Structure 1
């Protein structure tokens, strides 16, 4: 099969991965090694050379954007439509499964998908019903508790409260929330996976049907799977369905949101005898950048192991800058970006990365002062914007009256004289009778429990919804959307907002109508099912898009983002800022080996985003979260091989730091005092070296002591013990 035209453009490792006949295949794909190319070519090879039907292939990835790109590349490679393939995200495929088997899943046929904001709104309503004080029991905390337990495959009855009031209360919120979802026919994002996994468990004949149907499963970014996703795949693959997973344990950086690095490490043990193919040739970065990344990640334990390399040249050294403070650091970054622009680079060729969002403020100020356009990557996507969610809620309510989240969102938007007291009366009736808010509103009106003004406003609102339902029947999707938006009053409502914001909101609402037209033209999108361009299909599409957390970058501007947001991206020039102890790695990871290793993987991801040039910066002192702190340079800097680094001085001079045995130093080779080194003084106690000055016996050392603060000491008299 190696002579197939499909593999002629691949390197030997890629070709081995594409043509493997193993039933269990792990493709360990390093950063920039062409993993998507391998995944797409393997699907094409299974179809062309192994004669599998496209209908029998299931391919899973983590974002709608990645799924769309995969589908497009498959079609281009095969020169044929890929509509019969199941290609999508875990949530998208689980949703598709539940739509097809709603009865077996014990769901209403027209179940609604709750996005994060609507889910939070429902959690708040449940907590009000339980008379919980939001200041003591933050709703977002309860929401996170619900989602994290669903990701672990746990229902309320599966969670032990250990007699702890905090745990017991959150379990009660979870239980009441679940009951509210069942009553309203609502499904949140975490529920999609949990419910579809339960479908496998409770319907063995259905599971057997899909195990016969799917002849190969392929999974991208496997290191990012959580427990329920892993269990879902394990059930579906069973002992019969071949599976290919592509991932990189060195890029597992989402443990804080449930991803389990153990999944990729234990794949061979859990799924059976596995062939492992390593993709180590990098097509993105220079040899110097790769050597730096390899040097850092080698300090992690229990790696599956690989060494990135390139056939390209060494490229420029990695430039290391120590700012006096965070303002000086930001000024340096802005100056270097201006230099790049003067040399003919585009703004979008450059990216500024930071560990936490709190760091962006000073960097943004420096960019503004320098007049450099920038974009904070990861802003609100289209379907997450307030005005769009308002319009979609009207459409959802017309589609499904029992959608409590949609009802609450628009019953008084635009304002129509329904105060919180009137709404609470409706909620109380719904709670007491265990009925949706729409039905509760009918009961409240029937018994005249509201003031005359509030009752009239509520009746008019409900009559409008009923009338719109009748008017739009038989109309095309875009005509339905246009009519509902017009009748809702949202456009004049948002037009009354001051400044550009109101205008932008109106433009977005109009763009929503354009989105429905595009959806009409493309049918149900890329689902592969003949669902048509119905309102229900569009609303599902919008909810799934809103749940996809990857944001789009556009226009020619410098990209600014957290290191987590940078995964999957690449830029010719990258600035990694704030690379210092206590910030990156974070203070919280210092006592936890698992968290420290994830921080190191994050550093590896950051380094490998750079294609041509990498700047690493840190500040000797930094004011953050309202207080000033002195931080040593990060251990990740010290882990970079010394020959890869060049120190940049403030006066724009460049000198190579002398750093034998992996240490980042600013003085002669035999000096024992490295920046960041922990020391002990007989009087001042333990401290960290923050700076060195001078040479020989008169050299001075600046040490920040935990109990005594910062001290300058003459090295030969300091009596410092190295720790």
Structure 2
């Protein structure tokens, strides 16, 4: 063993060393977040080459991204002081492509076969739909269906369409698509892996050749494998193959795109004498963060089991903030970021993580208002998203029908059968006459200058714009935006979006309505719609930071996997939002949501904030919200409530009396709406069994670091802790706390019917009961 590799092996912890130096047998390495799985994989390959004397060409290493594959090759080269050439290290699709290029004849492909990217694939499908006279089916939906079938290893002939008309139609499109690809010598990404797997099945001699060649197969991120990828691995691995799989079942969060977490459990059953090694020492996060993550994920039933730990000390407690609404939540987060930066810390080490893309808007607005640069990682800023730009284009046409850019964007969005030839006719007429497209459209419709089908489609569009203008005339801005989103068909159109994106796009459209409901027109010379459109255009400015710049990172929890930050804000942790409403009644979905929360928590290295809002605007309407069950599942001793006044925090455990959320005043602590006894102590009592439902004596007054126990000095309106009050929406309750000063004073009221709520005092409308 070279001195360099020997020193590197000595630096590994015992389980890492056990995995790296395991004898040539099948092994499953359950690698927790931040436990050094890439180090183990690269050291394992170096060990095989230098100690086990495996030739580089006998090793196949498979991962999921080109970036991960490049990093693996680089690290191996550094360990062995040699070029990694000869090693087969790549993605599933990259390895499959290499095989098909070498064995194109056996695979039934032309030697010069071409690869279709996703855009090429959809163009081909669009042509097939046009040949069938179908101008309503979305090419992306057909592509999603075909790709999903290929991920399951299914050809068109394998699809059971009995009794399913839509499925029969899609299967027929799949057959036509297969035939078109065959004629053109083309393969898409899914076909690369499907056809290379068929090589193993249909060409046993070729499969056996590669079984003898690849004596060692290593797989990264094994929890993300789908049905076809796992079948490909099983077919390639022979009885003499050393299969080394590394993954974390607790970080399997891509079930919506075909990943099968159960592959990790099947691995133990399907490969004899498999050695299971657990990497549990975390090199990223503090002990408190890891303890919280362990306790949370322990609520999932189907796990291989592990317990993350660190020798870096407990660190700071997790800070929990109960916001009045999403605007208050965003203000709090951005103020914390300002304080972080003012202390000399880099903004790039801060991440705001959310479940849904639509949540980014409130944070973007606050960041821009305070001139803090930010980057939406792996996505677009709110007003730059396609569905938002579509809705805004409709509104621009309502405000100004002569806006040609808006006209071009939505004249056939959603698709209404208006072809390119018809649009080119409009453009030619507009150029010749120096007119807008809308003016030409109106003239042609009035003069009968369009063929029947085109006249019908364009007439329908013109009628829609006219109806939107009429419906919005004199109406509040929120109503105008609502009508545009609904009547245009955008919401229905995007709800059918493939690849699991439809729900998020609809949420974004709903958030646009919320933005309109909260918009304040500060320019009295502009009508509200024009002012709002100007606001949206300005918000699509230059606040977006470049990759690598010192700017705050905003991203969904799915985008955060594999990343880490010194300070993390996990926001919107509310029932129905996180976990999502769809997952609450489905155990498998709920467990994946919990794994997503686990991923979010373990992104934090030093400081973690968790926040939720007690009310949230949904489609322009303020609705009560309650803290997520995931907060309940974090041990109370790891949580500290954050208060607005000064820098003082309050440990959650100090507020407890027999259950999370039960404070010195009885049943109902913070966020207590809906989980047994008004708090979190007894979930079986949720939704309607609140001890506070019967009249109770007023709680005793107490000294508080957060408010004067008698009258708050400023902004309390004469109200006192312990006083019984009435609220227009929540009914009767008792004041239990105050915090903040002046216009930002908040009051905590324990309501008989709604549990404990924090309300902005100047907006609460409380009256003595």
* Alignment correspondent of 2:336: 336
Cross-structure match for 2:672: 675
In the TM superposition, 1:167-316 aligns within 5 A as 167-316=167-316
CA gap 1:669/1:218 in 2 versus in 1, 3 angstroms? farther
Distance 1:691 1:559 in 2: 43
Q: Partners of 2:552 and 2:317 in 1: how far apart?
A: 22
Q: Distance in 1 between matches of 2:550 and 2:689?
A: 42
Question: Superposition pairs for residues 519-598 of structure 1, below 5 Å?
Answer: 553-598=547-592
* Equivalent residue, structure 1, for 2:399: none
Q: Is the 8 A contact 1:374 1:559 kept in 2?
A: yes
1:657 aligns to what? Answer: 652
Deviations 1:82-131 (A, max 9, x none): 11000011111111111111111111112111111221222222222222
Report the CA distance shift for 1:283/1:193 in structure 2 as closer, same or farther (over 3 A).
same
Question: Could you say what secondary structure the match of 2:608 adopts?
Answer: strand
Question: Shift of the alpha carbon at 1:421?
Answer: 4.2
**What is the CA–CA distance in structure 2 between the aligned matches of 1:341 and 1:261, rounded to whole Å?**
39
Over 3 Å counting, the alpha-carbon distance change for 1:331 and 1:690 in structure 2 is: farther
CA–CA separation in structure 1 for the residues paired with 2:750 and 2:604: 42
Equivalent-residue separation in structure 2 for 1:281 and 1:172 (angstroms): 52
For 1:19-98, list aligned pairs within 5 A. Answer: 19-98=21-100
Is 2:13 the counterpart of 1:11?
yes
Once residues 568 and 701 of structure 1 are traced to their aligned partners in structure 2, the CA distance between those partners, rounded to angstroms, is 50
Q: Deviations over 1:131-182 (max 9, x none)?
A: 2242xx3322221111111000001100001221111111111111111111
Relative to structure 1, the CA distance from residue 423 to residue 236 in structure 2 (aligned partners, 3 Å threshold; closer, same or farther) is farther
User: How far apart in 2 are the matches of 1:552 and 1:109?
Assistant: 41
The answer (yes or no) to whether the contact 1:40–1:70 under 8 Å persists in 2 is: yes
Q: 1:260: how far off? A: 0.1
Query: For residues 93 and 717 of structure 1, do their structure 2 counterparts lie closer, same or farther at Cα, with a shift above 3 Å needed?
Result: closer
Asked if the contact 1:357–1:562 (Cα under 8 Å) also holds between the matched residues in 2, the reply is yes
SS across alignment from 1:266: helix
1:277-676 mapped onto 2 (5 Å cutoff): 277-379=277-379, 420-421=420-421, 553-652=547-646, 653-658=648-653, 660=656, 663-665=659-661, 667-668=663-664, 671=667, 675-676=672-673
- SS of residue in 2 equivalent to 1:616: strand
Hey, what does 2:717 align to over in structure 1?
A: none
- For residue 486 of structure 1, what is the aligned residue in structure 2? none
Q: 1:717 to 1:176 in 2, by over 3 A?
A: closer
> 1:181 touches 1:187 (CA, 8 Å); kept in 2?
yes
Structure 1 contact 675–691 (Cα < 8 Å) conserved: no
- Spell out, residue by residue over 1:18-65, the C-alpha distance to the aligned partner (whole angstroms, 9 max, x if none): 011151101110000001001100000001110000111000111100
SS in 2 for 1:698: coil
CA distance in 1 between counterparts of 2:546 and 2:48 reads 32
1:216/1:717 Cα in 2 relative to 1: closer, same or farther (>3 Å)?
closer
In the alignment, the residues of structure 2 paired with residue 329 and residue 7 of structure 1 have an alpha-carbon distance, to the nearest angstrom, of: 47
Deviations 1:608-652 (A, max 9, x none): 000000011111111245443321101111110111100012334
1-structure distance, mates of 2:644, 2:558 = 29
Q: Alpha-carbon deviation of 1:370?
A: 1.2
Please state whether the residue corresponding to 2:697 is helix, strand or coil.
helix
Aligned with residue 129 of structure 2, among 119, 127, 130: 127
* Corresponding position of 1:472: none
* Displacement of 1:690: 11
Question: For residues 169-228 of structure 1, what are the alpha-carbon distances to aligned partners after superposition, in whole Å with 9 as ceiling and x for unaligned?
Answer: 111111111111111111111111111101111111111111111110000000000000
Residue by residue, what CA displacement relative to the aligned partner does 1:657-686 show, whole Å, maximum 9, x if unpaired? 2465995416228536671434699xxx98
Aligned equivalents of 1:718, 1:701: Cα separation in 2: 14
8 Å contact from structure 2 (residues 217, 242) kept in 1: yes
Q: Distance in 2 between matches of 1:590 and 1:364?
A: 29
Task: Write the distance in 2 (CA, Å) between the matches of 1:275 and 1:324.
Answer: 51
Helix, strand or coil for the counterpart of 2:652? coil
> Any conservation in 2 of the 1:676–1:688 contact (CA below 8 Å)?
no
Contact 1:638/1:662 (<8 A) preserved: no
Deviates more, 1:636-645 or 1:173-182: 173-182
1:399-428 CA distance string (max 9 Å, x none) = xxxxxxxxxxxxxxxxxxxx934999xxxx
- CA–CA distance in structure 1, aligned partners of residues 96 and 356 of structure 2: 32
Taking the aligned partners of 1:689 and 1:628, their CA distance within structure 2 comes to 24
- Quick one: distance in 1 between partners of 2:599 and 2:692? 31
Q: Distance in 2 between matches of 1:689 and 1:572?
A: 41
| Distance change >3 Å, CA 606–CA 663, structure 1 → 2 | farther
- Cα distance in 1 for partners of 2:750, 2:335 equals 39
Corresponding residue of 2:155: 155
Task: Let me know the Cα RMSD of the aligned residues.
Answer: 3.2
Distance in structure 2 (CA, Å) of the matches to 1:627 and 1:209: 64
TM-score normalised by L of structure 1: 0.71
For the 8 Å contact 2:662–2:668, the answer to whether it is kept is: no
Residue 690 to residue 618, structure 1, CA distance change in 2 (3 Å): farther
Measure, in 2, the Cα distance between the counterparts of 1:46 and 1:342. Answer: 49
How far apart, in 2, do the equivalents of 1:188 and 1:334 lie? 44
CA contact (8 A) 1:680 1:720 kept: no
TM-score, normalised via structure 2 length: 0.67
Q: Quick check: 1:61–1:89 contact (8 Å CA) kept in 2?
A: yes
Distance 2:127 2:170 in 1: 14
Q: Distance in 1 between matches of 2:562 and 2:213?
A: 32
Once residues 309 and 629 of structure 1 are traced to their aligned partners in structure 2, the CA distance between those partners, rounded to angstroms, is 39
Retained in 2: the 8 A contact 1:103–1:109?
A: yes
Q: Which runs of 5+ in 2 are unaligned?
A: 381-385, 387-418, 425-544, 679-684, 700-721, 735-748, 756-769
Residue 14 of structure 1 and its aligned partner are, at CA, apart by 0.4
Q: Distance in 1 between matches of 2:751 and 2:600?
A: 41
Measure the CA separation in 2 of the matches of 1:662 and 1:599.
28
Structure 2: how far apart are the matches of 1:56 and 1:591?
A: 48
- In 2 relative to 1, CA 86–686 (structure 1 residues): closer, same or farther, beyond 3 Å? closer
Corresponding residue for residue 393 of structure 1: none
CA distance in 1, matches of 2:750, 2:11: 62
- Counterpart CA distance in 2 for 1:116 and 1:656 is 51
